């Protein structure tokens, strides 16, 4: 087992995009933090012992699911999940456990359900496959009965190369098919290579589809040169889906790109915006996507020209075209973004911001009808600014509620925490 430490917690809070607009507007960051509407937060009793790496999934019928990793002992980790009913998490169910897992603060497991299939679930985690520190495979398991029983895991990538495979996104397509995207290191390795992205080739983005029986239906390369360790994300749009990731040019510009799968065909990848962030290593800071029909929102972190920023763009045509970006941060962001549509007009965006020796998890609500009128943020929690403090996860439960999950650390260890936020 390889486990990277987690040091602190992130939590989330919220304010309503339905509040009245002020008549004036000040430039960032001077006006940030003024006039936020109070909201109430209800901490949930989360059924997690020592562990971390939480993730959230909302099913097609609106049921929230939480997955997380528990550190069962010094050598064994387990992947668990629970569903939320009537404001309470049900008894957790174990998906899998292992003593050879790759447990990482940024490359964490996920749970998803097949579209239209209320009882059919899929989950992924990472397991070591070789002697190298980053020689690990993606493992996917399927449950036909709502998670009570899980089938034998399979590996979605078919290369058999002992290399890095991770940063997975699972996206349900219909009741029988699931989409998967991942970063694939097969081209980075030579016979004598055991390192992280130091072979003859580059990290690639690959994607495929698998059935509810665990059969890979298709797998192919989407982009042959991408950033080594930034998260991917994907959403459905009319006619297909869109994947967001951090690209990597020959000149080491690492900007956000999207690839669209429309009418059964992959379109050429395209940059979302010409940040031109040239950096020799991976920033471990992937993009976040959210869709509401054909409306797509994409948030990301960049530090191009030595100016850290959190940016947001919108598309009204399923990701074929994005508008110019809007800046959200207060001047010293760390990134680690997430997004979720609250309704057809309002979007929640979270990120982490450095504040001296600590960091704050912040959240704004953006109204697509006036996306440049971003005045207020909530300080959600103050925590460690170490990168192992993790990635806040948010999911909308409706027009007036938000579900949040985070990892909390203290002298006794780390635990997953969750909360429901109600706002006016």
| Domain CATH for 21 | 2.120.10.10
Q: Are 10 and 380 in contact (CB under 8 A)?
A: yes
Helices and strands, counts by H and E, the chain: 0, 31
2 — pLDDT class (breaks 50, 70, 90): low
Residue 375: the pLDDT is 58
Alpha-carbon separation of residue 31 from 15, 27, 316, 329 (angstroms): 16, 7, 28, 11
Element (H, E) at 233: strand 233-237
Single pTM value for the model: 0.90
6 — pLDDT class (breaks 50, 70, 90): very low
76 — pLDDT class (breaks 50, 70, 90): very high
pLDDT tens-digit readout, 295-332: 999 999 999 999 999 999 999 999 999 999 999 999 99
Query: 26 versus 104: which is more confidently predicted?
Result: 104
Classify 86 as helix, strand or coil.
coil
Residue 17: the pLDDT is 54
Percent of the chain with pLDDT over 90: 69
pLDDT tops 60 at residue 187: yes
For residues 68-82, give the mean pLDDT: 96
23 — pLDDT class (breaks 50, 70, 90): very low
244 — pLDDT class (breaks 50, 70, 90): very high
Q: What range does the domain containing 324 cover? A: 2-423
pLDDT tens-digit readout, 116-146: 767 899 999 999 999 999 999 999 999 999 9
For residues 210-216, give the mean pLDDT: 96
Q: CA-to-CA distance for 342 and 103, rounded, in angstroms?
A: 31
225 — pLDDT class (breaks 50, 70, 90): very high
pLDDT tops 90 at residue 250: yes
Residue 28: the pLDDT is 31
Query: 156 versus 2: which is more confidently predicted?
Result: 156
Q: Which of 27-31, 78-82, 301-305, 316-320 has the lowest mean pLDDT?
A: 27-31
For residues 241-264, give the mean pLDDT: 98
Which DSSP symbol is given to 36? Answer: P
By C-alpha distance, which of 330, 314, 334 is closest to 375?
Answer: 330
Query: 154 versus 61: which is more confidently predicted?
Result: 154
- Residue 305, number of CB atoms within 10 A of its CB: 10
Buried b (16+ CB within 10 A) or exposed e, 25-63: eeebeebbeeebbebebeebebbbeebbbbbbbbbeeee
Q: Which of 234-238, 340-344, 401-405 has the lowest mean pLDDT?
A: 401-405
Query: 207 versus 193: which is more confidently predicted?
Result: 207
194 — pLDDT class (breaks 50, 70, 90): very low
For residues 228-249, give the mean pLDDT: 98
Residue 199: the pLDDT is 52
pLDDT tens-digit readout, 366-393: 888 887 776 577 777 777 777 767 898 9
pLDDT tops 80 at residue 174: yes
By C-alpha distance, which of 225, 230, 280, 267 is closest to 249?
Answer: 225
For residues 74-81, give the mean pLDDT: 97
Beta strand 110-113 pairing with 121-128: antiparallel
Considering its fold, how many domains does the chain have in total? Answer: 1
Asked, as a colleague might, if the bond just before 199 is cis with ω within 30 of 0, I would say no
Q: CA-to-CA distance for 285 and 292, rounded, in angstroms?
A: 24
Q: CA-to-CA distance for 62 and 85, rounded, in angstroms?
A: 11
């Amino acid at each position: 087992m390889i486990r990277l430490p987690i040091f602190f917690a992130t939590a989330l809070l919220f304010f309503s995009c339905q509040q009245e607009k002020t008549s004036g507007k000040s430039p960032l960051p001077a006006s940030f933090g003024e006039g936020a509407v109070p909201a109430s937060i209800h901490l949930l009793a989360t059924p997690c012992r020592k562990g971390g790496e939480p993730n959230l999934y909302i099913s097609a019928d609106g049921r929230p699911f939480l997955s997380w990793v528990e550190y069962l002992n010094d050598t064994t980790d387990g992947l668990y999940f629970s569903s939320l009913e009537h404001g309470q998490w049900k008894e957790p169910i174990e998906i899998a456990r292992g003593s050879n897992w790759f447990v990482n603060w940024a490359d964490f497991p996920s749970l998803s359900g097949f579209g239209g299939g209320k009882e059919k679930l899929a989950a992924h985690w990472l397991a070591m496959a070789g002697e190298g520190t980053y020689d690990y495979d993606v493992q996917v398991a399927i449950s036909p009965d709502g998670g009570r029983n899980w089938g034998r895991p399979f590996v979605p990538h078919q290369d058999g190369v002992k290399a890095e495979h991770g940063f997975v996104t699972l996206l349900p397509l219909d009741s029988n098919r699931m989409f998967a995207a991942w970063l694939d290191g097969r081209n980075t390795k030579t016979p004598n290579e055991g390192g992280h992205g130091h072979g003859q080739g580059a990290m690639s983005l690959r994607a495929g589809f698998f059935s509810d029986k665990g059969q890979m239906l298709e797998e192919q390369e989407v982009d042959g040169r991408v950033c080594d360790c930034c998260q991917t994300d994907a959403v459905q749009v009319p006619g297909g889906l869109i994947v967001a990731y951090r690209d990597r040019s020959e000149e080491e510009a690492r900007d956000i790109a999207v690839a669209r799968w429309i009418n059964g065909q992959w379109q050429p990848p395209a940059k979302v915006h010409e940040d031109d962030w040239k950096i020799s290593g991976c920033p471990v800071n992937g993009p976040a996507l959210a869709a509401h029909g054909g409306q797509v929102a994409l948030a990301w972190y960049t530090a191009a020209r030595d100016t850290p920023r959190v940016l947001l763009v919108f598309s009204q045509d399923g990701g074929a075209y994005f508008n110019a970006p809007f800046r959200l941060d207060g001047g010293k962001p760390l990134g680690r973004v997430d997004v979720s549509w609250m309704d057809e007009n309002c979007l929640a965006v979270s990120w982490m911001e450095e504040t001296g020796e600590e960091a704050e998890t912040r959240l704004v609500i953006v109204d697509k009808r006036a996306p440049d009128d971003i005045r207020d943020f909530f300080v959600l929690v103050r925590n460690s600014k170490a990168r192992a403090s993790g990635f806040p996860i948010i999911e909308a439960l409706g027009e007036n509620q938000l579900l949040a999950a985070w990892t909390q650390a203290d002298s006794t260890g780390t635990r997953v925490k969750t909360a429901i936020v109600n706002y006016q």
